[in-house]
């Protein structure tokens, strides 16, 4: 099962550098982040999706009508991938 919501790049996952500026990104819907705890909120998302039988999440980035990038992420890897991306972005941005 794949559920997506198109969102402007600036709000997609809230991670600088994850998506290209000026593009739209489809991301699985995520409830509001509680107490600025991204990791805890993502862990809760993984738990909910796993209980529904979901095994992967699909992330899509488009530029107008063209799909530029797509990634099929195994559900158990989501939090680690997000954490690694966050750490890399922090180092690059300063």
Number of domains making up the chain: 1
Sign of CA dihedral 44, 48, 54, 60: negative
CA 74 to chain centroid, in Å, comes to 12
pLDDT 10s digits, 30-55: 667 778 888 998 898 889 888 988 88
Contacts 24+ apart (CB under 8 A), 47-51: 49/75, 50/75
Domain range spanning residue 68? 5-93
The structure tokens listed for 78 are 């989501």
For 51-81, what is each residue's pLDDT tens digit? Answer: 988 888 888 887 878 888 888 888 899 899 9
Phi and psi, residue 48, nearest 5°: -65, -45
């Amino acid at each position: 099962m794949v559920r997506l919501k198109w969102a402007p790049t600036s709000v997609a996952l809230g991670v600088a550098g994850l998506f290209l500026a000026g593009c739209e990104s489809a991301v699985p819907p995520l409830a509001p982040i509680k107490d600025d705890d991204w990791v805890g909120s993502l862990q809760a998302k993984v738990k909910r999706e796993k209980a529904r039988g979901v095994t992967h999440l699909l992330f899509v980035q488009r530029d107008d009508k063209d799909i530029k990038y797509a990634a099929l992420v195994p559900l158990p890897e989501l939090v680690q991938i997000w954490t690694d991306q966050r750490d890399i972005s922090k180092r690059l941005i300063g």
